A and B are shown apart, each in its own frame.
Chain A
Amino acid sequence: DGGITQSPKYLFRKEGQNVTLSCEQNLNHDAMYWYRQDPGQGLRLIYYSQIVNDFQKGDIAEGYSVSREKKESFPLTVTSAQKNPTAFYLCASSIQGGQPQHFGDGTRLSIL
């Protein structure tokens, strides 16, 4: 069954640490996305990638970094520069940009 896998489901970070969230898809989709969801604020786009080895900043990229070395993988690193990292992070993919997106079940990041 095709889909998107995000891991882990829950993640804890100490102050000053970088942490990497995993996102893998087996849908053969070209485009992948990372969103952050806070209560009452909907989904905000962090980074997106239309093709391997290329990605663009979204609306709230500061304090985050990504890579797209393989079509099926789009990991997100939350760096220590992100001052308010506690949130629900969602990864998505689509056949191409702007098309309906398939989402993973998210990673909830908390600061210890």
Chain B
Amino acid sequence: SQKIEQNSEALNIQEGKTATLTCNYTNYSPAYLQWYRQDPGRGPVFLLLIRENEKEKRKERLKVTFDTTLKQSLFHITASQPADSATYLCALDGGEKLTFGTGTRLTIIP
């Protein structure tokens, strides 16, 4: 069956360092992958979309990679700030709908 795994439930990173979050999937061949940010008690907010033929996508301090051979996406936040603390979700397209991972709770320590 299809499965999406995000590397850990929680990740603590020192302010100013690069945070790297992992999304692995099995039994899936998505045309694209999306990353969302969710703050406590709020709905997720779309951040980035990367297509299967794109190796890397950037937006300000965010960078996403997509390796369809490894079936993995990496999400990087450079020069991390306490305001980046949130839960980050990856989502894979399934045609008409998306399937979400369980998320990684990122905490940036001042």
Chain A interfacial positions (CB closer than 8 Å to B): 4, 31, 33, 35, 40-43, 45, 48, 50, 56, 58, 90, 92, 97-98, 100-106
Q: B97, A97: Cβ atoms under 8 Å?
A: yes
Main secondary structure of the interface of B (DSSP, over half): loop
Residue of chain B at shortest CB distance from A56: B96
Residues of A within 8 A of B97 (CB): 33, 45, 48, 58, 97-98
Residues of A within 8 A of B31 (CB): 98
Number of A-B residue pairs having CB atoms within 8 Å of each other in the complex: 52
Interface centre among B45, B97, B99, B101 (most CB of A within 10 A): B97
Q: A105, B43: Cβ atoms under 8 Å?
A: yes
In whole Å, how far is B40's beta carbon from the nearest beta carbon of chain A?
10
Residue of chain A at shortest CB distance from B34: A100
Q: A100, B96: Cβ atoms under 8 Å?
A: no
Residues of A within 8 A of B41 (CB): 105-106
Considering only residues 24-63 of chain B, those with a C-beta below 8 Å from chain A are 31, 34, 41-46, 49
Instruction: Give A100 to B43 CA distance when docked, in angstroms.
Output: 13
Interface centre among A43, A103, A105 (most CB of B within 10 A): A43
Residue of chain A at shortest CB distance from B95: A98
Instruction: Give A98 to B96 CA distance when docked, in angstroms.
Output: 5
Q: B93, A103: Cβ atoms under 8 Å?
A: no
Q: B34, A41: Cβ atoms under 8 Å?
A: no
Residues of B within 8 A of A45 (CB): 97, 99
Are A43 and B46 CB-contacts (below 8 A) given A97-B95, A98-B93?
A: no
In whole Å, how far is A107's beta carbon from the nearest beta carbon of chain B?
10
